C-alpha cells in the first residue's frame, strides 16, 4: 500500500501550510512548494514529525522552467503526484485607473498562468493512472468582485473558469478538478489590516468572524478524498456566508 502524494503550491505559510499539515495527518506525503526556502523546510520538518514523507521545492510560478524542474523532481523522488493544490497567490492592489501594467501582469502570471502551468505538469501522469485530484484555491472576490483588486479578482475568476474547463476535459480520465473559494481568512495578510477595515469585513459575514486556514484546509482534504469522487467542476465556498 502506498501513500498518496500531494503537491501544494504556496505551502510555506497560511492556507498552504495548514493544508499540508492536515493532509499529512490524513496519510498523504507532501511536496512543499514555494519560493520561501527556509519556511518550506520548517513545514517539511513538521510533516516528518507526523510520520509523513516530505519534499521541498523552490518554486517560482513566474518561471515555466522553475515549474518544470519542481515537478520533475517531485516525480523523480516521490514517484507520483496524486493531488495538486494550486494555492499560491499574490496581491498588488490598486484602483484600476492607476494600476501599473507590471502589477496587473505579475498577479495574473502567478495566480492564474502559474496555476495553469502546474496543471499541465500533472495531466499526462494522472491520465496514465486514470486518477487525480486537482484543487484550485480561488477566492470569494472571484465570484463577487472587489474594489481596488481588478488584477486579483480577474485572476481568481479566471481560476474558477479554468477549473470548469479542465474538469470537462478530464472527467472521463478519472481526474476531478474543483475549486475552493475562501472568504476572509485569518492570515498574515488580514492580520495587518487596520481595525476599521477588519470591522467592515466582519459586518459582511453572517457568521461574524474570520475563517481560519484550517477551515479551508478541511475543504481541500474533502475534495482530495474518495468521498468526493463524484464531484468535479465545483466551487466550494468557505466564506462564513458573506457570499451566497
pTM of this prediction? 0.97
Answer left, alpha or beta for residue 208, where phi above 0 means left and psi between -120 and 50 means alpha.
Answer: left
Of 28, 75, 131, 152, the active-site residue reads: 152
Q: Which three-class secondary structure state does DSSP give residue 143?
A: helix
For residue 239, the model assigns a pLDDT of: 98
Closest Cα to residue 69, out of 97, 31, 14, 96? 31
The C-alpha cell at 135 is 484543487
Answer left, alpha or beta for residue 141, where phi above 0 means left and psi between -120 and 50 means alpha.
Answer: alpha
Closest Cα to residue 42, out of 1, 13, 3? 13
75: annotated active-site residue: no
Per-block mean pLDDT, blocks of 10 residues, the chain (244 long): 93 97 98 98 97 96 98 98 98 96 98 98 98 98 96 98 98 98 88 83 94 98 98 98 96
Domains of the chain plus CATH, in order, are: 5-238 (3.40.50.720)
For residue 188, the model assigns a pLDDT of: 77
The C-alpha cell at 134 is 486537482
Residue 214: which H helix or E strand, with range? helix 213-224
For residue 193, the model assigns a pLDDT of: 76
> Are 184 and 139 spatial neighbours (Cβ–Cβ below 8 Å)?
no
Q: Mean pLDDT across the chain, nearest whole number? A: 96
Amino acid at each position: 500500500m502506498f501513500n498518496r502524494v500531494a503537491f501544494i503550491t504556496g505551502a510555506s505559510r497560511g492556507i498552504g501550510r495548514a493544508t499540508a499539515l492536515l493532509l499529512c495527518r490524513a496519510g498523504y506525503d507532501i511536496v512543499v512548494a514555494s519560493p520561501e526556502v527556509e519556511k518550506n523546510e520548517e513545514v517539511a520538518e513538521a510533516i516528518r514529525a507526523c510520520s509523513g514523507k516530505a519534499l521541498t521545492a523552490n518554486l517560482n510560478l513566474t518561471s515555466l522552467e522553475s515549474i518544470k524542474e519542481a515537478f520533475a523532481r517531485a516525480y523523480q523522488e516521490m514517484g507520483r503526484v496524486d493531488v495538486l493544490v494550486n494555492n499560491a497567490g499574490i496581491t498588488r492592489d490598486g484602483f484600476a485607473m492607476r494600476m501599473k501594467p507590471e502589477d496587473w501582469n505579475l498577479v495574473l502570471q502567478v495566480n492564474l498562468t502559474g496555476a495553469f502551468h502546474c496543471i499541465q505538469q500533472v495531466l499526462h501522469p494522472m491520465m496514465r493512472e486514470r486518477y487525480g485530484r486537482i484543487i484550485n484555491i480561488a477566492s470569494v472576490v472571484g465570484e463577487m468582485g472587489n474594489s481596488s483588486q481588478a488584477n486579483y479578482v480577474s485572476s481568481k475568476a479566471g481560476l474558477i473558469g479554468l477549473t470548469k474547463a479542465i474538469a470537462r476535459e478530464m472527467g472521463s480520465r478519472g481526474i476531478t478538478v474543483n475549486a475552493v473559494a475562501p472568504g476572509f481568512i485569518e492570515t498574515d495578510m488580514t492580520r495587518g489590516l487596520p481595525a476599521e477595515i477588519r470591522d467592515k469585513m466582519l459586518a459582511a459575514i453572517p457568521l461574524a468572524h474570520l475563517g481560519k486556514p484550517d477551515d479551508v484546509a478541511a475543504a481541500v482534504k474533502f475534495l482530495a478524498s474518495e468521498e468526493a469522487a463524484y464531484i468535479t467542476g465545483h466551487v466550494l465556498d468557505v466564506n462564513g456566508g458573506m457570499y451566497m
